[in-house]
Structure formats: C-alpha cells, structure tokens
Chains A and B, each alone.
Chain A
Amino acid sequence: MAVEGIGARALRKEDKRFITGKGRYTDDVVLPGMGFAAFVRSPHAHAKVRGIDSSAALLMPGVDAVLSGDQLVGDGIGNLICGWMIHSKDGSPMKMGGWRALEPETVRFVGQAVAVVVADTQAQARDAADAVVVDYEELPAVADPLAALDEGAPQLHPEAEGNLIYDWEIGDEAATNAAFENAAHVTRMQIQNNRLVPNPMEPRAAVASYNDGDEHYTLYTTSQNPHVARLVLSAFYNVAPEHKLRVIAPDVGGGFGSKIFIYPEEMVCLWASKRVGRPVKWVSDRTEAFLTDAHGRDHRSEAELALDADNKILGLRVKTVANIGAYMSLFSSSVPTYLYATLLSGQYDIPAIHANVKTVYTNTAPVDAYRGAGRPEATFLLERVIETAAREVGMSPADFRRKNFIKSFPHQTPVIMCYDAGDYDATLDAALKAADYDGFAARKAEAASRGKLRGIGMSCYIEACGIAPSAAVGSLGAGVGLWESAEVRVNPVGTVEVLTGSHSHGQGHETTFAQLISERFGLDTDAISIVHGDTDKVQFGMGTYGSRSGAVGMSAIVKALDKVETKAKKIAAHLMEASEADIQIEGGELKVAGTDKKLSFTEVALAAYTAHNLPEGMEPGLKEGAFYDPTNFTFPAGTYICEVEIDPETGRTEIVNFVAADDFGKVINPMIVEGQVHGGLAQGIGQALLENAAYDENGQLLTASYMDYTMPRADDVPSFNLSTHETVCPGNPLGMKGCGEAGAIGSPPAVINAITDAIGSNDLSMPASAEKVWALCKSSMRQAAE
C-alpha cells in the first residue's frame, strides 16, 4: 500500500478477505451450544389465529421449544414501531396499528410469524415448524392500495379507519391551483411506481446469545445501523437494557435500505435465547426474504404540470396513494412524505407545487426505504411528466428542461428544500455529448432499416442526501437525530484506528475513510484501520443509509482529525522548541517550517503516550472524538440518457447505450464512486424493465423466489458510460454530496422515456416487460395503418 489521499483510485483494503473466502458474515458466526430458529408463518394474507397446536412439534427430535405471541407479550416484549411521526393535513397524528413480533390474534400478511421453533439443527427446526398446526379463520384481504381506500374494503387495523394512516400535504394549494387556472398548457398523467423487493444477496440473519451470569445479551445481525438497532431493541421493545445488549453487524452482504429496520426475527432470537438458555441462530431463506423484508416503492399517482405560453413551468400538482403494507416499518412514514414530495421540484424552477399523499394499509409485506427511498418515486413522476410535456408542446426534451432549470443558488423550492449548489447545464451538456445526442436521428434511421425501433430518453434527477440536520428532521417528525460520530485513536507506535458510527455493507469505508487519514497525516493506508459495526467498540452512531457515510460520517472524522492534529502539533512544537503555528504535517512527519527540524508522526505519538515530556498541563494520549450534525441536506444531481433498440416482433428492449453524468461534489475515491453508480443503475434498470413484486387480489405474493421475481442479470444490463462534474457542496468540510442512490433514482425514467420514444406510445408502466412493449408496438402499428 501507499499514501493514498483524497481523489486517489485506491484499491480496497477490505477486498483481500472477500476474494479469499475470509469474510465474516452473520451466518458464518457459530457459538458453542447454538440452536437454530425456524418461524411458523401465516399462509393467509388476513386471518384470525384461533389456536396454535405445538404438541406434535414438541415431540420431534432436537426440539427445545415452540414459542408463540402470547408468551412474547406475556414477557413484556413491546410492539414494533414506526419512528417518524407524520401528521395529516387536519393536524391529526398518523394512525399506527399494533405490530407484534409474533402475532397472537390476527395475521395481516402472508409470511407474518405466529410462532418460532428452536431446535438443535436448522433442518430439525424447519421440520418442526412445519409440524406446528395453526388454526386460522380466514378474513377478506386487500392488496391493492386504491382498493384498500374503497368503502367496504377489508379493514386491517382498528386504529386506522378506512385503512388510511394519514392524509398529508405539502406546498401551497391555493397558489398551485391559481397556476393551473392561468396555464396555457396542462400535461396530465397517471403514474405508477412499481413495488420492488430490495434483495441484497445476503439474506437477513441473526445470532443471539444470553449470558445469565451477567444478564447480558449479544446479537450478531445483518444491520446497516447496529446502534439504532440496540436503541430500538432496548428503548421500545424492552428486550434488554442498552448497557446489557451488544449488537454486532459484522460483514454485511448488501442492504439497500432493507437492513436499516429492526425486524421481528432478531427480536425474537434475543428473547428466545434467554427463554431456551442457549444461543439461537436464524438465517432467512430467500422466500422468507421475499415475504418479510421490507419492500420498496408502490405508489399510484396523478400528476399535472402547468405551463405558460412560453413553455415555462407554472405549477405542479400531485396526488399520491402510497402502499405501506400491513404494518408501519421503522421509517416507513417518512418515505412517501418528506423523502418524496420534498424532491418534486427536481432541477426546475417551479413557482408553485402542491402534493397530497394518502398512505394506506394493505395485506402485503411492510414497505419502507429501498435504495433512494421516496426520491426515485419523485424523480420518476417528475421526469415522466417533464418528458411528456416537452413532447406535447413540441420542444426537444433537452431544451425544455434547460429552459426550466434552476440557474442560481441557493434556491428555495416551494417544498421545504433549499438547494445549496449545482450546475444542471453542465451535467446535461456532458450527458448530451457523451450520448452523441445529435447523432441519434441517423442511428434511429439505421435501426429502422433493420426493422428495429430506436428511442432515446433522458432524466435530470436531483436527490437529497447526507441525511440529515437533526433539528430539521426533528421538526418534521423524526424520532432520532441524524448526526454521526467518530473517534480517531492514534496508537503509541503511530498507527491509527478510526471508530465510526457509519456502517459499511459494500461501500468500501475501510478504504475511503482511510484515505482521509492518509491524506491528512501522510500515512500509509496500511497503518490505518477503520472500526465499525460493533456497539461495544463504537460508542454510538446512526449508521449508513441515504448516502450519509461520506457527507455526515466522514465529516465527523474530519472534526476528530482536526482535534488530533492540533494536539499533535502542540506536542511537536513543545518537543522541538518551536512555535505551534510553525508546525507543518507533511509525508508522515511534523516539521518546523523553514528549518530542518522534524519528528516522525510515530515519534510524536509515542511522546503522547510515554508522557515524559508533554506541554505543561496536557493530558497524555492522542485520541479524540467528535460528533457532526450536518447543516443541510446535500443535493447530488445529474443527467442520465438511455438509448434503446426494440424488436417490435418480440417486444424485447435492448439498452444500447447508457450515459450518466453526475455531480456528487468532491469525490474521495473515483473507483468506488463509479461502482456505486454502476450498481444503482442496474437496480434502476431492473425496476424499469424487469422487477415487480406482484400480489394477487387475495394478498398472495406471486413473486416469492428468483424463479418468479426477475433480478437483473449480467446480460440484462450494458456497460455504462459515466462522468462526474464537480460543484463543491458548501455544507460540509469535504464538499461531498453522496453517490449511493443516484443510479437507482435517475435511471428508471430515462429508460421509460427512451422506450416510449421508440414505440410512439406513452402509456407504459414499469416494468416494461417484453409482453407490454410488444402489445404497444402492435397497437401503434395498427393505429398507423388505420
């Protein structure tokens, strides 16, 4: 390794263990005497639980116990909760129904757990779970969010009349209505955002153990935020007090939001480990993951865009119904509200916006944050409407967007957000050039000569990252602050350990965070370790989601580094009898400017710990901590252009070129940033072309395995053409904006805009399957013939 600072394409420090099979994931954890849990799950979407007969299961080999909801409730284990309060427009608080980790009375989605078996082996536990007989009385179910609002629809929770959780609004309704009254042109669309299953490749898992000697619990689990897990498990679920619970999230195989939340299973494993007196492991199988991981998206919207005679946007009016599933997951309420409607201004100067969001219960799995969380829904809606409006008024989609771009910063939108910096023309120009937009007509003609349909579509996305200023989110209903913490420990020999509350589950923090320290002190990255994911090692942290590890997590490290640097300089100045102001750090040495006097970083660190000769009154040691609370969200933005070629005979869509031009602010490691964009693009293209979580009208999940749910594979996506264009974020010390979600946010509308351009029909919902595209091609051809 070497000194690799900000901007270096440093290869990843963590890779060696992953490419040699030495990664350590939760399922790899084996504790002495460990038993295995298997859950008994409802096959019905809505049913009363009349009784649970475990007698046969209890007689099976290896079985320790069959535990059910009555015992859980009897032991005082609390309900699962949603930690973000949303108020309806009439001022009333959201209507949250009770959610028990094991349901004793009424199950509300297929896959909901009613009991758990603990046995010696996983196979024994699963066999015994199959032998538990549950007497259900089936109730009518509803899976469709619009149908759930109908009069006479099956009712899920007594707390939420008409299945309505909240009827929320944002923006100035009167001003928006006035804009429409004065409009020269109005574009109207019905837009659906399809339901997705996050599908990190590592299924969720938990290994829980209880030591009755010191009444202490340990939980290994697949979490993006182990400290939040500990807080929620102790403060709300009463599983264990915080100081008696250690949560470890070791190597985690992807999250994409789905591993933010605290689920029933890890709670039950903790509780069961005490009940049965042995460590308990549970590993989700893939079908359990489809049934019980929090899903994403699932919006039905009406959108209207008002233009003046000069094609300037006057207003945007949106009505959305969001499906939250059968229960309110941890941050579910914030996703279709503050993470969605606050981004409806996009990159555009829109004087008036009004959005109304009705969030409803249905007999489906809970829906919560999935890569982008609300922002993909906003971007898809807006960029489909913008593209359609441009086509309706006969303007080039690029020119129409450019005409309406926000040009000066800071820019206050009508929906809370204040954009701090950006240059939307720059990313649009870069994308147009990279896509050879001007040459498209010739390519389209050439494709037509082969009987193929070519289309080109764009999307100019914005998102809000770096979640988030604590006071701001607190005023909007968040139950937690969204700062981050860091501790920088310089060891006596001059190596450095950085403890962070961020959590890496693929993002490469062990490398990028080390680059910060390498840059600051001129140290070899091999001399730096990043410690994360263990509540016994790191005091507290808010974890990783919303592209916050850079803008928030690294900012906390910078604050701690500032303190370490100050102290190191004081020690060096004292030892070299120089003025502190004259000490410079360069190449791993502390030098007195203008002289040849210098000390190595190691010598200064050692001096801090021997403490034989420190400045008067200075404490020994070289270790500093910091908390960083951001001042604003950050606003990554960019333009994506997708070019497709469609075979009208089969409806097959091939992405022949995909260009992404992003502004992520300051980039620490371009290689890792590119990787984040690649992955996000594949997920967005997956949403646009392939993925769909489908329930039938009775609430049965039809897509509960990789046989039925189409994951993007290597031959479904192209190689990508990326570039970045930096405007520095003024809100944090490193000028970073964040890159984790952009690909998934910006790409779906670009793909659908390209396909609708190719086939000449705009009535296309996601996923744009070959069947749908083929049918539209046929009807377009029929219309053309008539």
Chain B
Amino acid sequence: MSKVSMVLNGKSVSADVEDRTLLVSFIREVRGLTGTHVGCDTSQCGACVVHVDGKAVKSCTMLAAQADGADVVTLEGLANGGDLHPVQAAFREHHGLQCGFCTPGMIMSAVDMINRHGPGNLDETTIRHELEGNICRCTGYHNIVKAIKAASDQMAGMAQAAE
C-alpha cells in the first residue's frame, strides 16, 4: 500500500492504495469520479484521457503513485463553474458525440491539442492525425473533427478579444 496525494480538479485528495492501482482506478473507484472511462486494456482507445500537470495522459497507463503530487484534471473539472469549456460546448453544438463513452477522452485530448498547437492553428488533417490515440465507434469522427476545429477557432477569437 502507498499513500497517494494529488490535486484532483482543484481539490487536494489523498488515499492509501495498493501499489498497482492505476490512476484511472484511483479517479473512478477511490474518488468516485466516473466521467473518466476505461475502454481497453492496452492504452489504445483513449477513453481514459485526463490532464496531469497540464498534459493529456492516458490514465490507464499510469500508476496512481506516479501521479503523487501532481495536478490532475478530469472531464468533471473542465467546466468553469456553470460555464462549459468551449470544447465541451462545441461537441454538443456539432453533434460530436453519440453514446458518450469515448467523449471524456476525446474532449480532454482536444483541449490538450488546442493548447499545444495554439488556438486557431488546427486544420482537419492535423486534427485527424492528433486523434490517433482516441477511438470512437459511433460518430465516424466527422463531427468530432468539426467540433474541435470550431472550438479551436472560437478560442482564438476569444484570445484575440481579450487582448
């Protein structure tokens, strides 16, 4: 057993867990945040993507102990109070989800993608390439790509307006 402490969605949390506990198990089972999903056993599907210290990470591929001391954000922590993050809003606006199971990972990957490339700097080819680590079986990706592009462009507009 190890004591693991982290900031999870802005709140300090800690728990004693088995050494082999995955970060995703810590989030889902220990902390009861079930918005992060598990869709495979081989770190392929991306349903479990969260942000660890600002970077997108597959939480099934990391031990909870490795996140000790980290700042972890899950889909539940993405919205600012009642205001949806622009990527969340765009997924709804562009019908970028159907069954919703891959959606947590898709949204967290998309936010990371926009952060890395800079808002407004994503084209369709780049988005499709960047989604390599996230599998969706419902949407055929068409509307996910549209949603990410729209959110990226909207965030660029917001950044410009703020200047």
Contacts and interface: CB of A to CB of B under 8 A. Distances in A.
A706 B140 contact: no
A711 B92 contact: no
A21 interface: yes
Contact of B100 (A18, A677, A711, A717): A18
Given A202-B37, A675-B98, A256 B137 contact: yes
B120 to A, nearest CB: 20
A335 B97 CA distance: 29
B158 interface: no
A713 B100 contact: no
Contacts of B31: none
A502 to B, nearest CB: 15
Contacts, number: 180
Contacts of B131: 713-715
B64 interface: no
A662 to B, nearest CB: 14
Contacts of B101: 23, 25, 200-202, 253-254
Contact of B132 (A11, A20, A714): A714
Q: How large is the interface on B (under 10, 10 to 19, 20 to 34, 35 or more residues)?
A: 35 or more
Interface residues of A, number: 59
Interface string B18-56: 101000000010001111111111101101000000000
Interface stretch (A49-57, A100-108, A504-512, A754-762): A504-512
A669 to B, nearest CB: 9
Contacts of B89: 19
A674 B84 CA distance: 25
Contacts of B93: 11
B91 A705 contact: no
A706 B95 contact: no
B140 A28 contact: no
B102 A11 contact: no
Nearest to A28: B34
Contacts of A11: 92-93, 95
A743 B140 contact: yes
A252 B76 contact: no
B35 A16 contact: no
A679 B140 CA distance: 4
A178 interface: no
Contacts of A25: 34, 37, 101
Q: Which of A12, A17, A682, A715 has the most CB of B within 10 A?
A: A715
B107 interface: yes
Contact of B79 (A20, A251, A286, A715): A20
Contacts of A256: 137
Contacts of B142: 675, 678, 717, 719-720
Nearest to B77: A21
Contacts of B100: 14-15, 17-19, 23, 251, 253, 506
B161 interface: no
B143 interface: yes
B72 interface: no
B114 to A, nearest CB: 15
Q: Which of B92, B125, B129, B142 has the most CB of A within 10 A?
A: B142
Contact of A717 (B74, B134, B140, B143): B140
B143 A678 contact: yes
Q: Which of A21, A199, A719 has the most CB of B within 10 A?
A: A21
Nearest to B97: A18
A720 B99 CA distance: 20
A705 B18 contact: no
Given A16-B92, A201-B137, A675-B143, A286 B39 contact: yes
A159 interface: no
A287 interface: yes
B59 interface: no
Contacts of B97: 15, 18-19
A364 interface: no
A11 B76 CA distance: 21
Contacts of B84: 19-20
A21 B73 CA distance: 12
A675 B124 contact: no
B128 A714 contact: yes
B157 to A, nearest CB: 21
A714 B144 contact: yes
Given A12-B92, A23-B100, A254-B101, A715 B132 contact: yes
A531 to B, nearest CB: 18
Q: Across chains A and B, which 7 residue pairs bring their CB atoms closest together, nearest first?
A: A21-B35, A253-B101, A18-B100, A506-B99, A682-B140, A678-B140, A706-B44
Interface of A: 11-12, 14-25, 27-28, 30, 123, 199-203, 251-254, 256, 283, 285-287, 505-508, 671-672, 674-675, 677-683, 705-707, 711-715, 717, 719-720, 743
16 contacts: A12-B95, A20-B84, A21-B33, A28-B28, A28-B34, A200-B101, A201-B39, A201-B47, A201-B101, A286-B45, A705-B40, A706-B42, A711-B135, A711-B137, A714-B144, A720-B142
Interface of B: 18, 20, 28, 32-42, 44-45, 47, 74-76, 78-79, 84, 88-89, 91-93, 95, 97-104, 107, 124-125, 127-129, 131-132, 134-145
